[in-house]
Structure 1
Amino acid sequence: MKNQIILNLPVKNLDKSRAFFSALGFSFDPRFSGENAAFMNIVDDTIQAMLTTEPFFQSLIDKPLANAKEANELVICLNCESREEVDSLIAKATAAGARIPHPPEDNGFMYDQGFEDIDGHLWNLVWTAPEA
């Protein structure tokens, strides 16, 4: 089995979602992107997200689509290399329109903060001291 994770996330407006994540520094692979989806590289070629329009996403499943602004099924957690990277990504997310649901949590050996993207998906950014 290939060590790769691809998250499929429904979005209301693909162009706005691409702009949001581009502002955070994520890149997109045009080979797997089009009118209904955008293939976003999160961590090189091992972790990606397929942002799909809600109608296209709905065509892939046989149950109702959850509204991520009203209910949550998962939190996407990304490990950062430093506290500064956490703060930098939070600042970029905020500037791009994210909602910040809670203040940063600093436990000394671990520092984290999260954001809600423009479609309501929750992302948590965490740095852990190497010695922890």
Structure 2
Amino acid sequence: MSKMIFVNLPVTDLGASTRFYEALGATRNPHFSNENAACMMLTDTIGVMILTHDYYRNFTQRPIADAKATSQMLLAVTVGERAEVDRVLEAASAKGGRADPNPAQDHGSMFSRSVEDPDGHVWEIFWMDPAAVPGDSSTVDA
């Protein structure tokens, strides 16, 4: 079985956040969703669990940070073509996101813009030109 990753994010309005993540390209998995949480799958192996604040508190004793005031992480998701960066960003912005909280990055073979979800979590939408990646492009060295 392939490893999976689930990013868990606290949200204030589950419905608004669900619409935002659908616009970002995620699909809601009803088997792991209820009135407290929604499992939003970006791929078969990458999911975003959006959890109401009350439910999120079941998993941590730490205070929930205000993502609009602080930055703990930047999340990034790739798209298949350069023009799709703008399309995804516009769709996510129309569903409650805030476009370009950080400046766009254009490095020729890589282009990205960012969008903030309704709770302030920042997602970078980016495209990389596969022809610019030397050797096997299925892995990236960190």
With structure 1 as the length reference, what TM-score do the two structures score? Answer: 0.92
Unaligned runs of 5+ in 2: 133-142
Instruction: Kindly provide the amino acid, as one letter, of the partner of residue 10 in structure 2.
Output: P
Aligned-pair RMSD on alpha carbons?
1.4
What's the counterpart of residue 86 of structure 1? 85
What's the counterpart of residue 136 of structure 2? none
Instruction: Kindly provide the amino acid, as one letter, of the partner of residue 30 in structure 2.
Output: P
Instruction: Kindly provide the amino acid, as one letter, of the partner of residue 23 in structure 1.
Output: A
SS of equivalent to 2:41: strand
Q: Does 1:121 align with 2:88?
A: no
Q: Is the 8 A contact 2:16 2:96 kept in 1?
A: no
How many residues get paired? Answer: 131
Deviations 1:15-51 (A, max 9, x none): 11112222333210111100110010111x2000111
SS of equivalent to 2:10: strand
What's the counterpart of residue 64 of structure 1? 63
With structure 2 as the length reference, what TM-score do the two structures score? Answer: 0.86
What's the counterpart of residue 47 of structure 1? 46
Q: Does 1:75 align with 2:89?
A: no
Structure 2 Cα separation of the partners of residues 98 and 6 of structure 1: 21
Unaligned runs of 5+ in 1: none
